[in-house]
């Protein structure tokens, strides 16, 4: 039997001295940085200083000089408001954050923003701040590493054997997304995940007991976690709990640390006053006096830096030993190595467009079914593609038919059942992509994107390449009624910076939408119909001339344009029918397909003018959703055929008449407006 000592070296007296010194340094740097910025949250950094020192002096298997090493332990700060805790740890342990960076905490263009941002600060695993989402990211990353271990590890070679650690606070535990993610992690028995819970019993507004009195320990045990409880300021207790937790770990682990918020602040410790405001110069002077350090700004003993200078050599050796293992594995399994490289580099076939164009799909099918055909084809040529759904895989058509579902006993599948946990699913998908070897595609109904919105927003902020397949995209869902019929969701998603929102029409545009999603280095939302959509032959254009432009002309006017009709998705065939009717009465209409606002905005001004420039006649948009955002393209005097109320429970054909999505009604509105 493997002993805990073989997993983690003993915590000897000399090491405990270094941990104590680092804990003091974390407190000093955090107090001073928040005070200098006159903004920030000193409470968590002071209260969790011992944990930070223990993690970075002893527990974490990583190489700060190579922060992207694929088999590193991950440390995720879910309680992102305590960012100075993470920045202090990273600075002291050699991640490249300088003392000047610490001194520029929360300042413009600094590497130390108010909440950790992975795209700004090397070594920060994910962007956190909205509470609970870092917890969900940690669950997703842990799952991703389990998947990769199953795929690439052998009896002789353990390429993936790292842990994911996270630090969460009382606020994280109260957010609903954490419950979703914890339930999911327990269900899959993620035995590479350890969450430290900073249980200081204080929230921003006051004592925790004023808003929460649950049995967190019992709740997590019910989820299927192992739970330990320690004094968060006692390094020996933390160490014993960690050793017990990771020794033959079979479940995710929660370590509840009872801490004193703002520990070290003589008059403010233990109070919500220490949570989110500078301590004040006099409080800091007294704190430093109690800590036994000089009353100097940003004071760190040379011995702390010296310790980590030596430790960095050992950290590099750990990575180098793994690299030797990796090279031996590569020689033994060259085919696995080739697939590893494909997944790590996110390679796509060079002839992807040609392949998709030649893929046979049924004519005039729903967007969701066309996407299902594409997805199942892509899975055969893109090994990094994994899909998952919020208990709707049979409706959102996201299942990869040739592959099994992932379970705690079978991590070799490529389909994930996230359960009815949309918010959790979205945070976990971000965690999956943060393994840098998995391309997640997750699905649900468009109206349920509201449950996911904040996670989508953070993925967009980080430009993480998550693909969201949202189906049942309009009132034409039909009989399910207004609770399931999206109206405002398209406008809301389009408003998120760096998220590409694509609503394709017909099977060819769906294929091209997948090219857009797979080649964009950021998140994409595919908006797909439940009902069949008539194929428009004029949409069958090369990617660069059609959907890749965001908007393009599918029907040119025969003379000077009298009307420009622009539509998306299932309304494009209707736009073509309206154009036919206009031509019959002597008008000269232009029809534009506009599946993606974002791609259109990336085009040269000359191209934009060629589509929506002068002399294009009266402009009409047709989309079964809110008109919000359309007047940028159709003008303030343009006519938006849209849905401005909630839907109703009725067959789609009845709804089309009731809400004005017929040729006759649209013509009446054109000539009466």
- For the beta carbon of residue 532, count every other beta carbon within 10 angstroms: 15
Provide mean pLDDT across the span 486-496. Answer: 98
- 251: Cβ contacts below 8 Å, ≥ 6 apart: 186, 189, 190, 191, 224, 225, 226
State pLDDT tens for residues 155-214: 999 999 999 999 999 999 999 999 999 999 999 999 999 999 999 999 999 999 999 999
pLDDT band at 1 (very low <50, low <70, confident <90, very high): very low
* Per-residue pLDDT, 7: 67
Given a cut of 90, is residue 4 above it in pLDDT? no
How many Å apart are CA 1 and CA 606, to the nearest integer?
Answer: 71
Given a cut of 90, is residue 9 above it in pLDDT? no
Provide mean pLDDT across the span 29-42. Answer: 98
* Per-residue pLDDT, 132: 98
Which H or E run contains 454?
A: helix 449-462
Given a cut of 70, is residue 657 above it in pLDDT? yes
Helix axes 83-93, 302-332, angle to 10 degrees: 80
- 179: Cβ contacts below 8 Å, ≥ 6 apart: 219
* Per-residue pLDDT, 373: 97
Given a cut of 50, is residue 153 above it in pLDDT? yes
Mean pLDDT of the chain: 96
β-strand partners of 467: 441, 524
Q: Are 57 and 15 in contact (CB under 8 A)?
A: yes
- For the beta carbon of residue 560, count every other beta carbon within 10 angstroms: 9
What strand order describes the sheet that includes 164-169? 74-77, 164-169, 193-199, 253-258, 226-231
How many Å apart are CA 464 and CA 576, to the nearest integer?
Answer: 36
How many Å apart are CA 503 and CA 593, to the nearest integer?
Answer: 10
pLDDT band at 5 (very low <50, low <70, confident <90, very high): very low
Nearest CA to 305 out of 76, 88, 116 is that of: 88
Write the burial class of residue 210 (CB in 10 Å: 0-12 exposed, 13-18 middle, 19+ buried): exposed
Given a cut of 70, is residue 152 above it in pLDDT? yes
Q: Are 529 and 476 in contact (CB under 8 A)?
A: yes
Dihedral over Cα of 291, 297, 303, 305: its sign: positive
Given a cut of 60, is residue 555 above it in pLDDT? yes
Provide mean pLDDT across the span 631-651. Answer: 97
Helix axes 281-291, 13-37, angle to 10 degrees: 170
- 148: Cβ contacts below 8 Å, ≥ 6 apart: 159, 160, 435, 437, 438
pLDDT band at 614 (very low <50, low <70, confident <90, very high): confident
What secondary structure does DSSP assign to 94-144, as a single string?
TSS--HHHHHTTT-TT-SS-SS--TTTSTT--S---STTHHHHHHHHHHHH
How many Å apart are CA 441 and CA 44, to the nearest integer?
Answer: 35
Given a cut of 80, is residue 666 above it in pLDDT? yes
What secondary structure does DSSP assign to 53-89, as a single string?
HHIIIII----TTSTT-TTPPEEEESSGGGHHHHHHH
pTM, 2 dp: 0.97
pLDDT band at 41 (very low <50, low <70, confident <90, very high): very high
* SS3 (DSSP) at 408: coil
Domains and their CATH numbers in the chain: 4-318 (3.40.50.970), 352-537 (3.40.50.970), 551-672 (3.40.50.920)
Q: Which residues are catalytic?
A: 422
How many Å apart are CA 564 and CA 594, to the nearest integer?
Answer: 12
Given a cut of 60, is residue 291 above it in pLDDT? yes
């Amino acid at each position: 039997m493997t002993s805990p000592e073989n997993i983690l070296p003993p915590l000897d007296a000399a090491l405990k001295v270094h941990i104590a010194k680092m804990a003091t340094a974390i407190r000093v740097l955090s107090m001073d940085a928040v005070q200098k910025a006159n903004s920030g949250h000193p409470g968590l950094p002071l209260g969790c200083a011992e944990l930070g020192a223990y993690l970075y002096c002893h527990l974490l298997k990583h190489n700060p000089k190579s922060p992207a090493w694929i088999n590193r332990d991950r440390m995720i700060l879910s309680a992102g408001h305590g960012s100075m805790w993470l920045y202090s740890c990273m600075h002291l342990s050699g991640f490249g954050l300088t003392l000047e960076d610490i001194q520029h905490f929360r300042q413009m263009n600094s590497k130390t923003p108010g909440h950790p941002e992975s795209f700004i600060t090397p070594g920060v695993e994910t962007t956190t701040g909205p509470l609970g989402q870092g917890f969900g990211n940690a669950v997703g990353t842990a799952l991703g590493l389990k998947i990769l271990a199953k795929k690439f590890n052998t009896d002789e070679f353990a390429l993936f054997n790292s842990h994911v650690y996270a630090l969460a606070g009382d606020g994280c535990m109260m957010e609903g997304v954490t419950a979703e993610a914890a339930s999911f992690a327990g269900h899959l028995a993620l035995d590479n995940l350890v969450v430290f819970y900073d249980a200081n019993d204080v929230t921003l507004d006051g004592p925790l007991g004023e808003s929460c009195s649950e049995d967190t320990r019992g709740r997590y045990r019910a989820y299927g976690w192992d739970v330990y409880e320690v004094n968060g300021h006692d390094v020996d207790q933390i160490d014993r709990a960690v050793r017990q937790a990771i020794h033959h770990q079979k479940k995710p682990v929660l370590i509840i640390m009872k801490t004193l918020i703002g520990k070290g602040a003589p008059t403010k410790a233990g109070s919500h006053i220490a949570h989110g405001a500078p301590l004040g110069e006099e409080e800091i002077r007294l704190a430093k006096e109690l800590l036994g350090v000089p009353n100097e700004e940003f004071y760190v003993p040379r011995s702390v830096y010296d310790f980590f200078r030596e430790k960095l050599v050992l950290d590099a050796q750990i990575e180098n030993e793994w690299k030797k293992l990796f090279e031996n594995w590569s020689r033994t399994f060259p085919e696995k190595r080739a697939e590893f490289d494909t997944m790590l580099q996110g390679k796509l076939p060079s002839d992807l467009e040609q392949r998709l164009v030649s893929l046979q799909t049924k004519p005039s099918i729903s967007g969701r079914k066309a996407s299902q055909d594409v997805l199942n084809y892509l899975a055969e040529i893109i090994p990094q593609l994994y899909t998952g759904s919020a208990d709707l895989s049979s409706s959102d058509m996201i299942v990869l038919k040739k592959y099994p579902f992932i379970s705690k006993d079978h991590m070799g599948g490529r389909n994930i059942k996230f359960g009815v946990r949309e918010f959790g699913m979205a945070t976990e998908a971000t965690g999956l992509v943060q393994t840098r070897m998995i391309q997640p595609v997750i699905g649900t109904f468009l109206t349920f994107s509201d449950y996911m919105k904040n996670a989508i927003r953070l993925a967009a902020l980080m430009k993480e390449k998550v693909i969201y397949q949202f189906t049942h995209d309009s009132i034409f869902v039909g009989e399910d009624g207004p609770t399931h019929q999206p109206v405002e969701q398209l406008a809301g998603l389009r408003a998120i910076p760096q998220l590409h929102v694509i609503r394709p029409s017909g099977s060819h545009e769906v294929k091209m939408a997948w090219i857009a999603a797979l080649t964009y280095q950021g998140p994409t939302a595919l908006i797909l119909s439940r009902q069949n959509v008539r194929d428009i032959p004029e949409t069958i254009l090369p990617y660069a001339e059609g959907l890749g432009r965001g908007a393009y002309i599918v029907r040119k006017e025969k003379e000077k344009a009298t009307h420009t009709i622009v539509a998306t998705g299932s309304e494009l065939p209707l736009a073509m029918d309206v154009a036919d009717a206009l031509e019959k009465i002597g008008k000269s209409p232009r029809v534009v397909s506009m599946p993606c606002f974002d791609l259109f905005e990336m085009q040269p001004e000359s191209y934009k003018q060629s589509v929506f420039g002068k002399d294009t006649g009266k402009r009409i948009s047709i989309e079964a959703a809110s008109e919000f955002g359309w007047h940028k393209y159709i003008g303030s005097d343009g006519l938006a055929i849209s849905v401005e109320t909630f839907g109703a429970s009725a067959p789609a054909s009845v709804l089309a008449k009731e809400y004005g999505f017929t040729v006759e009604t649209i013509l009446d509105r054109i000539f009466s407006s």
